[in-house]
Amino acid sequence: MKLRVVEPPEVAYARSGAVAIAYQVVGDGPVDLVFTPFLGNIRYAWEHPVFLRFFEQLASFSRLILFDKRGTGLSDRPRVLTLETQMDDIRAVLDAVGSERAVLFGAVQGGQLSALFAATYPERTRALVLFNPHASPADMPPAPSPEEARERWGTREFAAEIARTVFPSMAGDEDLLRWHADYQRFAASPGAAAEFFRMLHDTDISEVLPTIRVPTLVIYPARRRDAARRVAALIPGASAVQVPGDDLPVWADAELPSEVERFLGGREEAPVPDSVLTTVLFTDIVGSTERAASLGDRAWRDLLARHHAAVRRELARFRGEELDTAGDGFFATFDGPARAIRCAQAIVAGVGELGLDLRAALHTGECELHDGKLAGIAVSIGSRVADEARPGEVLVSSTVKDLVAGSGIEFEDRGVRALKGTPGEWRLYAVRADLAGASHAR
């Protein structure tokens, strides 16, 4: 492939809520391609030939969109870093560049983020490319602990150790090692790096992968074959390609962009799937029949109206969508589990001030869209989790817990339950009260 000489593009900023997200656009190909690494700095990356070659190759067949996730590079550094807020960042960048539907290309934790985005927003995802992906912490690539990253991140010695493990074929290149140490420093502070490695160690997307309904390519080096092929097996219809060599960085293999180009070449844009990954919330008032009888019809109606107003206020604040209200219960959906948890906490507390005991339950799973209505096994599971919740409790499935790493939300194990009418058994967790953190969800 003949490479074009591409000057480093200007850095622009998109607004994701109150957070500024740095991005660049290069190339004018027929397909928008969003590249998401683990950690990076979009301006400093252009200073080394290996990244320059990688970006030029991708931009030769696409409109390449680069961005620094919140907490990294040239973007703002907020305290809370979660996959769902990073999904907000991708949407903000797509909106800023006028892209309605793009191919997402993610590496390592960037692959987890891209996969979650593709499942949650299939209408914005044309296709998905994952390099060196893993589903669960058990399959993750070599990585330092959060504590080690906090203590040693950005030092020349630490960068050299990582190089010997992650890209051994280039570990003897002193110029690259010096650049790589600086790249780490420009990508993230030690504290931010520690939080990203904590997410890497704690996040499990095994339940998310089967819900992906867009064309998917999984690319992997030989030593990551087992983990990558497990990911490919979980995604319906995914293709898997092994590239030569033992180096793990996405920029290390000069032929990798050609695999992406072949995958996308001549592919017609697939229709938008009629299913999405969604977090469902169910709430109901404990002892409502007895309370209504003791108050009388008029007073109960007045109290119920105040309850409804309190619930709807929090749904609006946390971007929840009310789908149904049956008597004293609510059914709502969210595009992110951490927001849903914070909303449920706020609802339980707010309704408690009215003298009512509420229980809430959350599950994240695939839901089908039919004539504007939501259906599917995920809805049934969420409803059954609600049956297990105690008064004043927010109870969640393990899927929800596995997706909120970095949120600061803590859980208490409630054990494994068989949920009536649903397959298998489910481990459930109660959210520990932490209402002071509720404002961090947005």
Confidence of residue 308 (pLDDT cuts 50, 70, 90): very high
Of 227, 245, 264, which marks where a domain is finished? 264
324 located within any domain? yes
Q: Which comes out higher in pLDDT, residue 7 or 19?
A: 19
Angle, helices 297-317/288-295, rounded to nearest 10 degrees: 130
- Per-residue b/e over 347-361, b at no fewer than 16 CB within 10 Å? bbbbbeeeebbbbbb
Distance (Å) of CA 291 to CA 138, 294, 302: 48, 5, 13
Q: Are residues 36 and 122 in the same domain?
A: yes
User: How many Å apart are CA 348 and CA 351, to the nearest integer?
Assistant: 5
User: How many Å apart are CA 143 and CA 149, to the nearest integer?
Assistant: 9
Residue 15 has pLDDT above 90, yes or no: yes
Percentage with pLDDT > 90 across the chain: 72
How many helical (H) and strand (E) elements, i.e. helices and strands, does the chain have? 14, 16
Q: Are residues 57 and 202 in the same domain?
A: yes
Give the contacts of 397 (CB within 8 A, at least 6 positions apart): 362, 363, 364, 381, 382, 385, 426, 427, 428, 429
Q: Are residues 336 and 223 in the same domain?
A: no
Of 229, 264, 299, which marks where a domain is finished? 264
How many Cβ atoms are within 10 Å of 26's Cβ, its own excluded?
21
Domains in the chain, number:
2
Confidence of residue 439 (pLDDT cuts 50, 70, 90): very low
5 located within any domain? no
Distance (Å) of CA 385 to CA 163, 187, 204: 45, 41, 20
Angle, helices 156-166/174-187, rounded to nearest 10 degrees: 110
Q: Are residues 165 and 70 in the same domain?
A: yes
Give the contacts of 184 (CB within 8 A, at least 6 positions apart): 39, 153, 154, 158, 159, 193
Is residue 264 within 8 A of residue 31, CB to CB? The reply is yes
Per-residue tokens: 49: 């030939």
Q: Determine the straight-line distance between the first and last CA of the chain, rounded to whole angstroms.
A: 44
20 located within any domain? yes
Confidence of residue 4 (pLDDT cuts 50, 70, 90): very low
User: How many Å apart are CA 75 and CA 35, to the nearest integer?
Assistant: 15
pTM score: 0.91
164 located within any domain? yes
Confidence of residue 326 (pLDDT cuts 50, 70, 90): confident
- CATH number of the domain enclosing 141: 3.40.50.1820
Residue 411 sits in which domain range? 275-441
Q: Are residues 308 and 253 in the same domain?
A: no
Q: Region 315-327: what's the mean pLDDT?
A: 91
- CATH number of the domain enclosing 429: 3.30.70.1230
Q: Are residues 252 and 300 in the same domain?
A: no
6 located within any domain? no
Q: Are residues 172 and 283 in the same domain?
A: no
207 located within any domain? yes
Per-residue tokens: 295: 């108050």
> Which ranges of 170-269 would DSSP assign to H, the alpha helix?
174-187, 190-202, 225-234, 256-264
270 located within any domain? no
Q: Are residues 117 and 182 in the same domain?
A: yes
Q: Are residues 256 and 404 in the same domain?
A: no
pLDDT digits (tens, 9 = 90+) for 186-244: 999 999 999 999 999 999 999 999 999 999 999 999 999 999 999 999 999 999 999 98
pLDDT at residue 369 in the model: 75
Query: Residue 255 burial (CB < 10 Å; 0-12/13-18/19+)?
Result: exposed
Q: Are residues 203 and 107 in the same domain?
A: yes
- The DSSP H or E segment spanning 302 is helix 297-317
Q: Region 293-313: what's the mean pLDDT?
A: 93
- Per-residue b/e over 277-288, b at no fewer than 16 CB within 10 Å? bbbbbbbbbbeb
222 located within any domain? yes
Rg from Cα positions in the chain: 23
Q: Are residues 340 and 400 in the same domain?
A: yes
Distance (Å) of CA 370 to CA 277, 384, 386: 15, 22, 24
Strand, helix or coil at 14?
Answer: strand
Q: Region 298-319: what's the mean pLDDT?
A: 95
The residue ranges of DSSP E strands in 270-420, in sequence order, are 275-285, 321-326, 329-334, 358-370, 373-375, 394-397, 411-418
User: How many Å apart are CA 381 and CA 397, to the nearest integer?
Assistant: 9
Of 206, 235, 264, which marks where a domain is finished? 264
Q: Are residues 285 and 220 in the same domain?
A: no
Residue 2 has pLDDT above 60, yes or no: no
